[in-house]
């Protein structure tokens, strides 16, 4: 039988080396930006698969690993997703989002048009498995939002580290994703990640990030 516990493999670094590693990692992550314009050229599938493996190392409630990923390359499926997303987004921008929200989005330059959904080489749909379908009936999963959110953060970091750009897209409502991708009833769409190389000459909004003092309180 497999042992219930095994020794933990841990690497401890000297203080200076820790600082150096932290600085380098921050420097790398600081350069990550959400990109809305993608080149059409393909990206290596193995890189994407490795990023998904990294995402799947995330901690999860009771280790239920409630994340599911659907990698979409097929242009026809991408086109169906774009059509459905734009339909929902058009209604959101025109009818559902209050003026304050529209105003908040102005600096980002977004609207209901989502051409990136068909130009990017891969769409990665992230689903949250809200419960397991077992032979003896549904079995509960725990902290599903938190777990899938953490996994998605790792996924975005891994893709950035590999040299790919991403865009987190959350068309709302996202029910159409389950239908188009034929997912079972225990999976809820979490978000849609467009990924690839940025388009030549791609620009991003001139944003600043909050200072440490604004996001951190030490007691």
Residues that bind ligand IYR (CB under 6 A): 89, 105, 108, 110, 169-172
For residues 119 and 186, which CB has a smaller minimum distance to ligand IYR in the complex?
Answer: 119
Tally of CB atoms within 10 A around 195:
26
Residue 202 burial by Cβ neighbours in a 10 Å radius (0-12, 13-18, 19+): middle
Closest residue to ligand IYR in the complex (CB):
110
Query: 28 or 104, CB closer to ligand IYR?
Result: 104
Q: How far is the CB of 153 from ligand IYR (least distance, A)?
A: 16
Measured from the CB atom, is 35 or 60 closer to ligand IYR?
35
Give the shortest CB-105-to-ligand IYR separation in angstroms: 6
Peptide linkage before 209 cis (omega within 30 of 0)? no
User: Taking a C-beta distance cutoff of 8 angstroms, is the pair 39, 172 a contact?
Assistant: no
Nearer to ligand IYR, 70 or 194 (CB): 194
Please provide the DSSP assignment of 37-60 as one string.
-B--S---HHHHHHHHHHHTTS--
Task: List the structure tokens of 32.
Answer: 């990550």
Closest distance to ligand IYR from the beta carbon of 63 (Å): 31
Tell me how many degrees the CA angle 131-135-141 measures, rounded to the nearest 5.
15
To ligand IYR, the closest distance from the beta carbon of 113 in angstroms equals 9
- Identify which of residues 36 and 68 has a Cβ nearer to ligand IYR in the complex: 36
Nearest approach, Cβ of residue 138 and ligand IYR (Å):
30
CB of 110 to ligand IYR, least distance (A): 4
CA angle 33, 35, 41 (to 5 degrees): 125
Phi/psi zone of residue 201: left (φ > 0), alpha (ψ -120 to 50 degrees), beta?
A: left
Burial 142-171 (b: 16+ CB within 10 A, else e): eebeebbbbbbebbbbbbbbbebbbbebeb
Residue closer to ligand IYR by CB (options 89, 129) is 89
């Amino acid at each position: 039988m497999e042992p219930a516990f095994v020794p933990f493999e841990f690497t401890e670094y000297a203080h200076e080396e820790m600082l150096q590693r932290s600085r380098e990692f921050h420097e790398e992550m600081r350069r990550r930006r959400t990109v809305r314009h993608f080149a059409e050229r393909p990206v290596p599938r193995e890189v994407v698969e490795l990023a998904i493996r990294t995402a799947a190392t995330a901690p999860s409630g009771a280790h239920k690993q409630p994340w599911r990923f659907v990698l979409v390359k097929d242009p026809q499926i991408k086109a169906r997703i774009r059509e459905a997303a734009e339909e929902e987004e058009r209604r959101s921008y025109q009818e559902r989002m209050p003026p304050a929200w529209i105003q908040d989005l102005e600096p980002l330059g977004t609207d209901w048009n989502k051409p990136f959904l068909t130009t990017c080489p891969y769409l990665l749909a992230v689903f949250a498995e809200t419960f397991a379908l077992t032979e003896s009936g549904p079995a509960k999963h725990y902290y599903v939002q938190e777990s899938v959110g953490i996994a998605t953060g790792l996924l975005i970091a891994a893709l950035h580290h590999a040299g790919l750009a991403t865009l987190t897209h959350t068309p709302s409502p996202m029910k159409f994703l389950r239908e188009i991708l034929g997912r079972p009833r225990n999976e809820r769409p979490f978000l849609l990640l467009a990924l690839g190389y940025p388009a030549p000459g791609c620009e991003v909004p001139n944003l600043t990030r909050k200072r440490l003092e604004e996001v951190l309180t030490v007691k």
